[in-house]
Structure 1
Amino acid sequence: MIARLRRATRWQSLPLFMGFAMLALIVGTRAMLVEGQRANRAAARETIEYQELLSGLLSLPQDAESGQRGYLLTGEKSYLEPYRKAVEAIPGQLARIDTMTASDDQLAPQVSHIKDALSQKQAELAETIVLYDRGDAVKALELVRSGQGKAAMDEVRASMDTIRRIGAAAVAKRDEHTDQVEAWLRIGSLAALLAIFLLGTYTIRESRRRFREVAVAQDELTRKNIALGNEIQTRENAESQIRQMQKMEAVGQLTGGIAHDFNNMLAVIISAMNLAQRKLERGEHDIAKFIEAAIDAANRAANLTARLLAFSRQQPLAPQIVDTNRLLTGMSDLLRRALGESIRIETVLAGGLWKTHADPSQIENAILNLAVNARDAMGDDGKLTIETANSHLDDSYAGTHAEVTAGQYVMIAVSDTGSGMVPDTIAKAFEPFFTTKPVNKGTGLGLSQVYGFVKQSGGHVKIYSEPGEGTTIKIYLPRFFGPEEVAMPTGRGDNPAAPVTETILVVEDDARVRASTTDAIRELGYTVIHVGSGQEALQALAENPGIALLFTDIVMPVMNGRKLAEEAVARMPQLKVIFTTGFTRNAVVHNGVLDHDVHFLAKPFTIEQLAAKLRDVLDMK
């Protein structure tokens, strides 16, 4: 019914369209007629002007002839003044006539005849004057009586008469054509008005019939809408199931990637430890390479965990006010070592660059990740360009990128001359474990780590790439507003190898982790007291007032690390505190950012990282 109604509506609009078309045709024809009449008037004015120029041209040789005859009769030079003026004016008059005469015009031959006749007339006049000036008046008069000049003037007049007849015929022809157009237009207008009247009558009759059909179609449309609503609900339910399947597929891909990488690392660790254990049982002690392999695998596992936390935006950040230009300048040696000598590096640092508030170590990691990816895309030769700039992402840009907040940003762009990426690759580039590199040449977590850090810092990251034209990745970090904080010196001692004398209290509810941490701190030379809960820690503090630092896990039953630290510092104001945990959503990290003045060491950590953190905190004033 609806389709039939639409067809009927189209047919109903056809008479109206035809009526408007006829009116438009009449108006257009009228306009063309008016333009034709305007052109006729312009042509008539041009013809009159042309004839006036010819009349003026005819008078000039007549004036010259009058002056010549007066001079011949009287011998007075004053009679030659009209002659000279006419001779000087004739070329200009001919030039104006030439400008109004087209080369292919039928008037051109007549104008040419006039020019030839005028030339003959002027030659005859000039020759008689020359003869008279020589004293040969009789011969000059004989030349005048010969009729040569009269014949030239007769030819000029004849050509001008021909031009006047041609012009009059052209005007008459235009007028006749205009009269014909007006006659046909009157007939066509009457016919069009009659047709419009008939079409209007037909349209009114058809409209009444269509209105009745509309009422029937409206009832049918209501029924269709009800059926469509039911179909939409069914489709929404199906789409919800598909989205759930896609979520499960994404989780499966993520867990599969994690399991694959962790299994590889655990295989190395287990194999190395088994081999080391067998050698020790046989009394052999050359197990250094197995321990190194196990440590390397464990470090890679820790790095994988850090990358996953970065992608999930759950890594603990320690943001500072960062001068990005200074940070990039300090990274130059690191980038050259990472990329090799074959890659040319260029930095374009903007003047007056704004500050940003972000974790500087994570900015360095992000730039390094992008640079290494660029190196792999370029191969053995290429150019890497790192740029900084102040940037404003406006409301229109934010409107097309839902996760972007309009405002001012510090932009870091990393560009390469590599192979570039196709749109499908760009769409998946930030997904974890997605990589286009060969097997064992990439984890697929570099860009995802950059993405997670930038998003956690309130920024935005964008890829621009064309196959064969290279790639540019732009990082936008929010501009920092407010006074700059002065970085305080860490107070680290000048002799890091000096013997340590401090006592450290280790609080950890996991016995195995507590034992390994205690052994590591003792290996560094510190006196260690270790307990398994917050209540035991408070008792140990009461019994050992010489404890200099509290090294506590955050996530513990009954009393967590934050509450323990608050109670301990309240009892011992000079006590230093370091928090540690493998979790990020805890009491000292809010929205991914460490609380102010909190010292944090994420698990797992190496003994070198532990030593550096202990000394940094203990040496603080």
Structure 2
Amino acid sequence: MTGRSAFSRAVPLLLFTGAILLLGLVLISLRFASQTQKGSEEALEAARLNNRALLLVNLVQDAETGQRGYLLTGEEKYLAPFKRAEAVIPQQFQSITDDLAKIGISEVTVNRLKRLVDDKLAEMQSTIDLKTAGRDGDAIAVIQMDAGQRAMDEIRQIMTRIEAVTGSISFQRGAALADATRWLLISIAGGAVLLIALVGGAVYLVAAHARQLDAARRALAEQNETLEERIRERTQFLERANRELQSYSYIVGHDLRAPLVNIMGFTAELERAAAVFAGYMEKPPEGRDELSEKVAREAIDADIPEALGFIRSSMKRMDDLINEILKLARAGSRQLNAEPLNLADLISETVVNLQHRLDESGASIVVAQGLPQVVSDRLALQQIFANLLDNAVKYADPARRAVIRVSGKITRGYAIIEVSDNGRGIAERDLERIFELFRRSGPQDRQGEGIGLAHVRALVRRLGGDVAVQSVLGQGTTFIVTFAANLRFAKDRGER
């Protein structure tokens, strides 16, 4: 009895001692959690600074696009990008100046970048003023001096250095983040071990609460298992977003520049033909021979209409590309509306809208039983599966009857939907390329701008997931769409 009494008196002391130790472990855990949060925020700030710096370059390129459009056409509407960029660039530059100093970019480099941007804007403004004054030749001469091109090249070089510094910061913070996470797991594990020991020593006092503590321990262990994975996924997402932003900037600049090059080339051809005809008209009637008349007539009847036709088609191409870019931008900024959805019903509605295409091609869509119910954005999912199913029909193999299968399940809070076909397939080298803006795979024998899958990936990522593809050339393709099964929960967790 005395031994039991002594044990009873010792239990509160053990519990108190254990509580003190637990408090110490909690404080240590909070410290590592704070370090984890700080590292994540610093990595995110570096990525954001890089994105803002890239936006400054994009604004200068937009201004250059507006300048060239005005120089080529003389129409005021093409100056809108230049004026917008001219108004925004000082604010954008000011927003990154202090942050550049914080990451070690020297004041000399920052001042050099500002001078280059100012010189580039001044050069573009001078050509616009010359064009407005009717001095087209002087405006072209300013451009041909290549001062603006050299300024842009040096601006890009400075931006490359900034990108390297921010990338290094993100890498270092990621390493520190991994260390802090590891120690956080160790401290939490130590707390769990201590908790189990205390429960074992005081089992007769806390028997009524044992099941609750055990459940709490399991929940904590599960959180520990997924913490590092979530941090790794977030870091990978930031790195991927940064790479895609750079790729997007390059692709947009490249694809919009190509029609401009065509326009400039055929403008020169137009000037040459006009010069030929003008030379013929300047000759007195007695000096016009049959050969010069033939050359002049060819310039008027063939060369000039041909040049105008190519210029018109290039301008239409630019307009189409800009409209597609605006479409993608609007999709990325639309407010999502989470609502309960039956995926089987949603996909059936999409199939009905494609029925005329299915009847024409003889294709069939097989929807598996048991598609999950989700809470997500109806319009986004409709656009995602409409694009995927439409592509499956569009790129069917003419050698066999097209069969498209849709199946799905929910795993660990994510809906995973597979859209498979037996179409012509995609080459392995193009499996990631097909998600890039304005990029398509295989023979270009189908209509399209190459924006559908880029749109799909953007929408799926807004729904808290991603899209992947598996394909065998000549056999078929499977798109795997993964998104949050409950968008409300995913949004709340993201806000926290």
Normalising to structure 1: TM-score of the pair?
A: 0.27
Larger RCO (CA within 8 A; separation ≥ 6): 2
Name the structure where helix makes up a greater proportion of residues: 2
Larger Rg: 1
Normalising to structure 2: TM-score of the pair?
A: 0.34
